[in-house]
Amino acid sequence: MTARALADRGVVCTFYDGMVQDELGIWTSPGGDRVAWFRDPDGNTLSLTSSATP
Amino acid sequence: MKFGDLLVDRGWPFLPTSNWEVNPATGSSAMRYTLSPAVPTGTYIEVLPSLASRAVLLAAAWFQADWNWSSSAVETGYLIACNKVATSAPFLIPLMGLSAVQGGTRARPWYVHGMLGEATYVGFIPVRDTSEARRFYEGTLGLQVLEDTPFALVVEAKATMLRITPVPELTVQPFTITGWHVADVA
């Protein structure tokens, strides 16, 4: 599952003040890992992570 | 941690002779071992504090030259060279852990397992209403439902399970409570 797939299913990733995130909400860490956050219906914050080097 | 918390694999050819002590050479927790008569050379184990949460004990056997065992390890009865394993051959650590999980198809007297380092992790997510949560976790995220009871909505989470648990009062936290590692976030 990707941030785009989430968006297609109506799940908007969470944006945070002060963090540089792309249009999908993906933040790239200094090491190159990428993270996107989204919330479940209760508001719990969940994340998707992918490594810089798979 | 104490010795009683640990399981010594059947392959170990030696017997513990002490409770946890401080290895004077490294300052970390260690146990002294006495070899069984079947083993001609010294074998010692030591907990690496940085891995204590995984409860993976490093162990060593046979004092092979390429592991560069210190003679003082033999004399003091502590494995002081295990830190060299951690720094120079870190790939050995997961291998040792995996050996413990698999139980070993042959005698591999070079690891100890115990506590929760090799146990299967179970995740928990608190929700107010599991039926609403099911629409999201099953319907939107595509997680297979294993069980749906008043106690929990249990979904498959690749080799483990995620228990989505109804709670009477949910205080939603502003930080990430769980996540998935995917091939590509984008």
pLDDT tens profile B114-161: 456 667 788 999 999 999 999 999 999 999 999 999 989 999 988 788
Q: Do B185 and A43 touch (CB under 8 A)?
A: no
> B51 burial class (0-12, 13-18, 19+ CB within 10 angstroms)?
middle
Residue B183: pLDDT above 70?
A: yes
A16: closest CA of chain B, how far (Å): 11
β-strand partners of B154: B147, B163
Please give the residue of chain A at the shortest CA–CA distance from B169: A42
Q: Which residue has the tokens 């909400």?
A: A25
The one-letter code for the residue type at B75 is: E
Contacts of B124 in chain A (CB under 8 A): none
Between these two residues, A1 and A25, which has the higher pLDDT value? A25
pTM of the model: 0.52
When mean pLDDT is compared over A30-34, B40-44, B117-121, the highest value belongs to A30-34
pLDDT at A53: 75
Instruction: List residues of chain A with CB under 8 Å from any CB of chain B.
Output: 1-4, 6, 9-11, 22, 24, 26, 34-37, 40-51, 54
Q: How many CB atoms are located within 10 Å of the residue B118 CB? A: 17
Kindly list the domain boundaries of chain B, sorted by start residue: 3-114, 120-186
For chain A, give the percent of residues with pLDDT over 90.
76
pLDDT tens profile B80-115: 223 333 333 444 444 443 332 222 222 233 333 345
Q: Do B181 and A49 touch (CB under 8 A)?
A: yes
pLDDT at A52: 85
Q: Are A33 and A26 in contact (CB under 8 A)?
A: no
Q: Do B179 and A40 touch (CB under 8 A)?
A: no
Residue A39: pLDDT above 90?
A: yes
Q: What does the pLDDT average to over A21-32?
A: 92
Give the fold, CATH level 3, of B120-186: 2,3-Dihydroxybiphenyl 1,2-Dioxygenase; domain 1 (3.10.180)
For chain B, give the percent of residues with pLDDT over 90.
28
Residue B55: pLDDT above 50?
A: no
Check CB contact of B141 with chain A, cutoff 8 Å: yes
Nearest to B183 among A37, A46, A54 (CB): A54
Q: CA A29, A31, A34: angle at the middle one, nearest 5? A: 40
Q: How many residues does chain B have?
A: 186
pLDDT at B24: 57
Nearest to B179 among A10, A26, A46 (CB): A46
pLDDT at B5: 27
pLDDT at B120: 79
Q: Are B32 and B75 in contact (CB under 8 A)?
A: no
Please give the radius of gyration of chain A, using alpha carbons only, rounded to the nearest integer.
11
pLDDT at B124: 93
Contacts of B126 in chain A (CB under 8 A): 42, 44
Q: Do B185 and A2 touch (CB under 8 A)?
A: yes
Kindly give the residue spans of alpha helices, DSSP state H, lying in chain A: 3-8
Q: Do A48 and B177 touch (CB under 8 A)?
A: no
ipTM: 0.91
